[in-house]
Structures are given as structure tokens and as C-alpha cells.
Amino acid sequence: MTVYVLNEERLYEQADVQVKTGTVRSVYFPGLAIDMPELFR
């Protein structure tokens, strides 16, 4: 999973990458996290 964020120049930049392991966390929503093993189970 690749997470992108919109920067100050209104361009998307890559914020996070996870591949079936780890946890992806939201930059804009504190506390929002996706557990990759749970997602692909």
C-alpha cells in the first residue's frame, strides 16, 4: 500500500509504503492506522 499526501505546492508526494507487513498510519487523521497483515489475511 502506498500513501500519498498533498503538499503545500498542491502536488502529491509519497508519505508511506508498506508491503503486507507493518502498519500504515494517516498523516491527516491521528490514530488512523491500517495493520497490513490484517488487511491481507
**What one-letter code names the amino acid at 41?**
R
Structure confidence at residue 39 (pLDDT): 83
**Whether the Cβ atoms of residue 16 and residue 2 lie closer than 8 Å to each other:** yes
Q: CA-CA distances (angstroms) from residue 40 to 1, 3, 7, 24?
A: 11, 16, 29, 13
Give 1-41 as a 3 state SS string. Answer: CEEEEECCCCCEEEEEECCCCCEEECCCCCCCEEEHHHHCC
Read off the pLDDT of residues 3-38 as tens digits, 9 standing for 90 and up.
899 999 999 999 888 888 889 888 889 999 999 988
- The per-residue pLDDT for 40 is 81
